[in-house]
Structure formats: C-alpha cells, structure tokens
Structure 1
Amino acid sequence: MNSMKTNNYKKLITLLSIAIPLAVAILFGVKIDVTLPIFLPPIYATINGITAILLVAAVIAVKNGNIKRHEFLIKTAMVCSALFLVMYVLYHMTSDSTEFKGTGAIRTVYFFILISHIILSIAVIPLVLTTFVRGINNDIEKHRKIAKYTFPIWLYVAVTGVIVYIMINPYYIVS
C-alpha cells in the first residue's frame, strides 16, 4: 500500500476516532421529547451479544483459512456495532438515564464493568478501523499484529455491554 493512501486512511481513522465519541457526548446532552414505539435497551444489548458471537466466529473462520467468511463476519460485526451506537444514542436522547440501585459489592462490580466498558468502547474505535483497513488492503502481517489486541478489546466491549444491560435491567421503568 502506498504511503499517500496509508496517510489518508490514518487521517480518516483519526478523524472518526475523535468525532464519534465527541458526537456521542454532545448528543447525550440533547433531549428529544419523543416516545419511541419500542424499548431499545434489550434490542441494543442483543446486538452487542450478536457482535460478540460474530467476532468469535470470525476468528474461527480465519483460523480455518476461510478469509471470505472472516471478512463477511467482521463487516457484519462492524454494522452491528454501528447499529448499537445509533440505538444507544437514540435511547439516551429520548429517555432519562436509569440509575443503578444495587448496593455493596455488586454496585462496585457494576461500575467497574460500566466504566471499563465505556473507556474501552472509545479506545476500540481506532483499533477496529486500523485493523479493518489493514485487512482490506491485504497488509496481512500488520493486520494480524494489531488484530491480536483489537479482538479481545472489541469482544470485551460487546460482552460487557450485555452484562451492563442485564445488571441495570431490573431498574428500568418502562411506561
């Protein structure tokens, strides 16, 4: 891959890695007085679970030499992650945040999982994008090098998204 193309991808990855978390933070401050026809948290938690399954299946596919299936599964996981993000932001723009009411050790565990999930969900953006670009540009050695970090972090974010939902679910007020 030539250096001009690489630099363009690096600039785009940097821009998206800053713009996405910034947009989410800004949109969290926007409240729309609309009642959604569906309750989104179980849907976007399910999407997180599907993302985790897709990631594991993608690793199995590549280890079995099925590069086309690996690529399809990763692209699908990326679409799922984007859908999750849109629904997550939409829910928080139209609903008040739900307070976790657990106490003691479970509260500590919940906030540890939640905070690590949030931090790593921001950190994984440039990792996923860089790994993806290296893969589609057939820079396999560099793709593998970064993928060994991207995969467990992305998987952690997907799985902990489901865990956070399960832990906060008893405290949702659905009208």
Structure 2
Amino acid sequence: MLIRPLGRPGDLGWVVQAHGELYAAELGWDTSFEALVAKIVGDYAADHDTAREGAWIAELDGRRVGCVFCVREDDTTAKLRVLLVHPDARGHGAGNELVSTCVEFARNAGYDRMVLWTVDGLASARKIYEAHGFELAEETPQHSFGHDVVGQLWARELRASGSRTA
C-alpha cells in the first residue's frame, strides 16, 4: 500500500468516477452525489493553499484504490473530505492510512480542529473515524442522493487543550 500526494494526470477524474460508481453500486445513490464530489474536486483543483490543504491517493499494486482530501473550513478548522477505499483494497489498511495522513497534515498545517460530514450506516468508515478520535457531533435527517439519509457531522480536536504548539 502506497499513500502519495494527489497530482498525477487522471487522479482528479478517478476520484470523481470512483465515488460515482462505488456509491451507486453499493448504496444506490444517484448522480447528484457524483456531482457533489466533482464540485469538491473541482474547487480543490482550481484553487487550494498547498500549505493548508492537501489530497492523497492510495495505491495497491500500482492501481488507485483510495483517496482523501484535507480542505480549509475556516482559519482554525480543517475538513476531511471524499474518503474512499475501493472494495479491492478493503482490509489492507488503506482507510486508516489515508485518515492518518489527513489528520497529521491538518495538525502540521496549524489547524486546531478537524470536522467531516458523512451519512449514517457506513460502518467501516465510522470505525476508522472513531479510531482517529472523531466524535459524532450532530445528526440531521435529510433527503440526499435520491434517498432519505441521516447526515452526520463528526469532529475532533487536533491540539491539546490550551496548547497552540504541535
């Protein structure tokens, strides 16, 4: 398993395509989810601060099998976005490595806090988030991606209480 910075030709398109195909196949989500991922990826590609925002690709045997982005929510809060691990790579630690890379980057970039949004029912992702210190902060029933879902906001502190140093 290799975790590398996003940036090779095809990486951006792969992130969008993999999300669209995987979430349609596994959860029956419609193309509005793929469109959301395309917007997130497009916004990142068009304008991101390399010192405070990053994205990574997981590779297994030279194939893209996962991704995660760290983007700025505000001056003190980073947001983990578009975590995905392809079924071919599940059980190899890709999700754990991607989240570790993202959290460490956010901490080193000077953020105090990290948040993420997901939906209820993604048990493997929830285990990874909990293992990395994220706690469920809010749940909101909504209709998204062609389904009734429960949106979840997860959060974690990146710095010790009262400390402004790494």
The answer to which structure, 1 or 2, has the higher relative contact order (CA under 8 A, 6+ apart) is 1
Please confirm whether the aligned pair reaches a TM-score higher than 0.5, indicating the same fold: no
Q: TM-score range with shorter-chain normalisation?
A: under 0.3
TM-score, scaled relative to structure 1? 0.25
**Which protein is richer in strand relative to its size?**
2
TM-score, scaled relative to structure 2? 0.26
